[in-house]
Structures are given as structure tokens and as C-alpha cells.
Structure 1
Amino acid sequence: MAIKKTESGWLADIQPGGRGGKRFRKNFKTKAEALRWEAHVKTKIIKNPDWEPDKKDFRRLSDLMRFWHDHHGKSLKAEKNTFGRLLLVCERLGDPYGHQVTPEMLSEYRTARLAEGITPNGVNREIAYVRSAFNELIRLGQWNKENPAAKLRQFKIDEQELSYLTTEQIKELFIELEKSNSRDILLVASLCLATGARWSEAIGITKRNIRNNAVSFNGTKSGKSRCVPIPEGLTKRLIDHGSGLDDDSALFCNCIEAFKFAIERTSIILPKGQSSHVLRHSFASHFMMNGGNILTLQKILGHQSLTMTMRYAHLSPDHLEKARELSPFAKIF
């Protein structure tokens, strides 16, 4: 910050905000005018800091993501997976400065990822992680610019029909499960089919979770505990299976590979990427086909949003039945 004598007069060259702040330069005929102008600029900035443009943020994108992780990401259930994906995005972008990340850059990134063979759904998820991280940085006061991913629309994904097992397929599958060398697999699959639990939830139960012919599931995906009634016969089998274990010891090991092998030995063909989750879909589908209530199903499955549960609504016997009764065709003919 200086006022210097020049051939044409006096040059005021000041940077009131310090290094990285905006520089102001102006020529004056006299030193007094230069000093008055310097004082005026300083006063303006003190009274109204917004008058001066923000200093450039020289943190790399990975630095911002690490700040997000340390102050928010660590609290997430999928902390390692989410943080790992964010760091990979930083790496693929060349780890630019945060202020260099633009919607155009992210749009080009999406296009490149699609060309690499990543599914639209996978690309949507990556951009959603970036969008969420910047939203949290804004909330924490660590980012005062626009979220670069805010205006990027997700690729439209065609809704896929959820697969479920028919009664005959369930019987066929359980015949193969009974042949398995795993002592846990039959009960884990039974629990999933009886309660709609996720495989990870089922293998996490302890004896303490079984009370009054009901099973409570803790540490769920939504973070909320839920309790689901089960048949008395299944209750007895679970208690007998855990005989000799402490109340807080897990009843099962993760026998997912044994389940996959059992599926392969049947005539059942599942969509790509789906295995044990078909039991959860089968519970929900049969629940609705047998006349179950959609709101009750939401509570059983532990869905935070009814939108997720509505995927099974069309299986209800009376779903959209009014379309048959109230259509103009029905009224006229």
C-alpha cells in the first residue's frame, strides 16, 4: 500500500483488504488528494465490507472436501464410501482450486464419465455427492459463492419394475437354502422374508432384539429403529439358534455368498446387481397383494418417504380400481 510520486503527479496504489484482496489504483495531481482518496476507500470498506470483492479462495477442491469430511461427513453412516467418491471426483477433475469449479466443468465431467461406461444413475450419484458437500460447506460458512452443482439436472432414469419371488420360487429357493453348509443362511433369509428387513439389518440382530414375538432393528439405513412382529415359530427358532450366546452377541455371520450360491442353483433369474434384496421386495410385494395397507408397509420397511413405498402400491388388489368405475367409457357404455 503506497502513494508514490510520478512524472504526471501522485499514484495511489492501495490494497485495503490485504494480500488477495482487490487492488485500487488512481492518479492525482497532488499528494493531499491521493491521501484523501486513500482514507475514503478505507472508510468505505470498513463501513461496508461487501463493497470490496471477496478474496480469492486458494483452497483446492480436495481441501474443501476434507473440511466437509472433518466437520460433517464423519457423522454419516456411509462416511468412508461417500468421502472416497468425493476424493475420486477431485482427482478426475485434476483437483482444481475451489473457485475454478463451474457448472460447465461438472457438465463436461459427466459427459466424460458416461463415455467411460458409467451408468447415468452412477453419474447422478457422483454429482449429488458434490452438490450435497457444497451445500454443507455453504451452511458452515466455508463457501460464499453459488453451489457449482446446484443447477445441474440429473439424468432421467427410466423406472424399473421391482422383481419379487412368486410363492413357487420362494419354495424352490428355500429347498436350496436348506442344503447349504451355512447354519445361519436359512434363518437369515426367513427373517428377511418375514419382516422385509435388509440383509445387513437381519445379520445384525442379537438375542436382545427378540422380544414378545417381534424383532427390533437398530442401526438401520434411515438411522431409525423399528420393531416388526414375527410368527411364534420363527421366534422360537431364533432363540434356539442363539442358545449359549450373550444377549448382545450377533446371532449370525454374514452368509451372503452362500445365499448367492443358493440362488444360482435355482431356476430364478434376478436383475443384474440384485441378490438378497429380492427378499425385501418379495415381502413388500406379497404384503400389498394380500391386501396390506401402504402406510403400514412404510413403517415396516422403515422408509423415510412414502414415495419409496409407493413403488409397491400397484400390487394392491384395489389399486386404481376407481379407474374402472369412473372412466367415461364405464359411464357411457
Structure 2
Amino acid sequence: MKESSDELFFSFIEYLQIEKNYSSYTIEFYKKDLEQFFLFMKSQGIQSVQEVEYLDARLYVTELYQRKLARSSAARKISCLRSFYKFLLREKHVTENPFTYVVQPKTKKRIPSFFYEEEISLLFKACDQTTLLGKRNIALLELLYATGIRVSECTGIRLKDIDFDMATILVRGKGGKERYIPFGHFACEALQNYIHNVRNELMKGKDEHSFLFINSRGGPLTSRGVRYILSKIIETASMTRKIHPHMLRHSFATHLLNNGADMRTVQELLGHSQLSTTQVYTHVTKDHLRKTYMNHHPRA
């Protein structure tokens, strides 16, 4: 019996969750992209995903362009559908992938936004270390900058993942991949102070759990909570620019490369599977070198 499009949709989402171990955030994008494609199928009178042909795929891509989507958004949607049909092909629900030969729009490689070292210092100074939450915030900020971990990785850290003797932390990244990342004495001191003097206080009378970072009510800190904390720090520091948590990750990588770290090491620390993903930071470092040269060379 041939499965319906909805059944194949749920099978694919289950595959992403179990086999690919994608985050809930990534899976939401896949769901939305597939739901939009199903609406397109309905408008074209296509009854099931098995009926979609190459010309239908081309027509859908044309529609994406007509909607004037950002190239990165269009590329993501095409990639999603290519993966969907690759899965259907593997499971023998279709005989060919209609999106195999669809050309994806080339996306511009954006230069990552990052903080200069002076700006990082301002952020640290903006944390009120006389309060419990201020001490938590400085520990959070120190760890994010010291390790370059993603916010989703940070909120998943448990107490047992930290090895203070070796000054390393176990991080679970995309696809469940694990890596150990070292951290320096600033982060070490801030974390120990937070764990012994802050976390224990905030957890009094609350349900015990092992997540490292917690909110004011003793529950695990969420990604949204991290964004809120960082926005408040920016506000206190009187910095006009907007912040997103990835800027600390970008700053981590940029500052390492500017100070002589090799690309392969930075790749491993960031948890990038491809070196090309890390190489985007060379644009930043080249710009930094050019500015340094122009400012300091006597005949620049």
C-alpha cells in the first residue's frame, strides 16, 4: 500500500530526529520548508510527492525566485527538498530525485560580525558581580568567549561535563558529535565561583537537575534566556550595536586567528566538519591585517 505524502513527511522528520540527530531548531525549518512545498503541490494539482517530476521542481524554484527570497533562504529550501527526496529514494518510495539537477543559487559569504577585544572588555565590565545573577552572567559570558561554543551547546552542558583539573569541557555539537574544548583561568575562576556560590543558592528548595546554567527560578537556562541576558549586558555597557549570541563565537575564532592560531585548530575547536566553513574567518583576519598595516606602516 502506497503511503500518503503526510505519512512520508512524518517518516522523514523521524529520520532527521533519530538518525541525523538534528536539533529541534533545525527540524522546524525542515518542517516549514516541506509544508510550503506541499502547498505548492496543492496549487499545481499534484496529489502526492511520488508524482513530482523535474519540471515541477524547476517550476517551484522559479516561484521561489519570483517571491524575491534571499538567496540563502532559497538555497536552504532546495537543499531541504533534495534531502527529502534522497530519503524517499533510499526508502524506495520514489524512483528518482526530481531536485538532483536543480541548480541552487550561489549564496554570498557574509563576513561574520564580531566584537573587537576592547568591546569584549566592555561587556565583562558591564556585568554586576555583586549580585547572584551578575555572577552567573559573567560565568556565562566568560565560557562563551573562552570556548566559542554555540548557545545550544552551552545550554546543554551539565556539571559532569566540566573537568577543572584539565580545564576542559565536553560539548555535544550538531549531530550529537562530541568534542573537548579547553578554557582559560578567567573562565575557570568565574565558573567555580558561579557553581559554588551562585548555583547552589539559586537551586535551594528547587527540583534538582544537573544542567550547568540555570535561570533565576532554578530551571535550566534556555537559548532565549541566553539571548536576553546578552542583550541586557549590551544595554548596560551602553553599546549601540545589536548582539546575537553567535557574535561571541565569531569573536572567539577571529581573535584566535588574529593572534596566530592555525586554521585546523580553530576548525576543531569550533566543531566544523568542513575547513571551508572555518575559512570565512580569513576574510576578517585579512581585513584586520590590512587595517593594522595601513595604520602602522610608515609608508602605507
Q: Name the TM tier (shorter chain).
A: 0.7 to 0.9
What is the DSSP-based 3-state SS (H/G/I as helix, E as strand, rest coil) of the residue aligned with 1:172? helix
**Greater displacement, 76-85 / 158-167:** 76-85
After superposition, give the CA deviation of every residue in 1:250-309 in whole Å (9 maximum; x if it has no partner).
Answer: 333233212123335533535xxx611000000100100000011111111111111111
Distance in 2 (CA, whole Å) between partners of 1:170 and 1:233 is 13
1:176 maps to 2:126: yes
Distance in 1 (CA, whole Å) between partners of 2:115 and 2:289 is 23
Distance in 2 (CA, whole Å) between partners of 1:267 and 1:150 is 47
The amino acid that maps onto 1:286 is H
1:1-333 residue pairs with structure 2 within 5 A? 60-70=4-14, 72-75=15-18, 76-78=21-23, 80-81=27-28, 82-94=30-42, 96-144=47-95, 146-178=96-128, 182-183=133-134, 184-211=136-163, 212-243=165-196, 244=200, 248-252=210-214, 253-254=221-222, 255=225, 256-264=227-235, 266-270=238-242, 275-314=244-283
Task: Verify the 8 A CA contact 2:153 2:171 in the aligned structure 1.
Answer: yes
Tell me: CA distance 1:237–1:176, structure 2 relative to 1, closer, same or farther (3 Å). Answer: closer
Structure richer in helix, relative to its length? 2
Tell me: CA distance 1:178–1:92, structure 2 relative to 1, closer, same or farther (3 Å). Answer: farther
Alignment partner, residue 39 of structure 1: none
Task: Verify the 8 A CA contact 1:288 1:315 in the aligned structure 2.
Answer: no
Distance in 1 (CA, whole Å) between partners of 2:190 and 2:128 is 14
**Greater displacement, 121-130 / 109-118:** 109-118
Task: Verify the 8 A CA contact 2:22 2:175 in the aligned structure 1.
Answer: no
Distance in 2 (CA, whole Å) between partners of 1:237 and 1:86 is 44
**Larger Rg, first or second structure (1 or 2):** 1
Tell me: CA distance 1:222–1:63, structure 2 relative to 1, closer, same or farther (3 Å). Answer: closer
The amino acid that maps onto 2:121 is K
Alignment partner, residue 50 of structure 1: none
Distance in 2 (CA, whole Å) between partners of 1:175 and 1:188 is 14
Distance in 1 (CA, whole Å) between partners of 2:176 and 2:58 is 33
What is the DSSP-based 3-state SS (H/G/I as helix, E as strand, rest coil) of the residue aligned with 2:181? strand
Moved over 6 A (4+): none
Distance in 2 (CA, whole Å) between partners of 1:77 and 1:217 is 19
- For these two proteins, the number of residue pairs brought into alignment is 259
Task: Verify the 8 A CA contact 1:214 1:227 in the aligned structure 2.
Answer: no
The amino acid that maps onto 1:236 is E
- CA displacement at 1:121 relative to structure 2: 1.0
What is the DSSP-based 3-state SS (H/G/I as helix, E as strand, rest coil) of the residue aligned with 2:126? helix
- CA displacement at 1:84 relative to structure 2: 4.3
Task: Verify the 8 A CA contact 1:298 1:306 in the aligned structure 2.
Answer: yes
After superposition, give the CA deviation of every residue in 1:128-175 in whole Å (9 maximum; x if it has no partner).
Answer: 11111111221222222x201111111112221112111121122333
The amino acid that maps onto 2:17 is K
What is the DSSP-based 3-state SS (H/G/I as helix, E as strand, rest coil) of the residue aligned with 1:226? strand
Tell me: CA distance 1:93–1:120, structure 2 relative to 1, closer, same or farther (3 Å). Answer: farther
Give the share of equivalent positions with the same residue, in percent.
Answer: 24
What 5-or-longer segments of structure 2 have no aligned partner?
215-220, 291-300
- What's the C-alpha RMSD, in Å, of the aligned pairs? 3.0
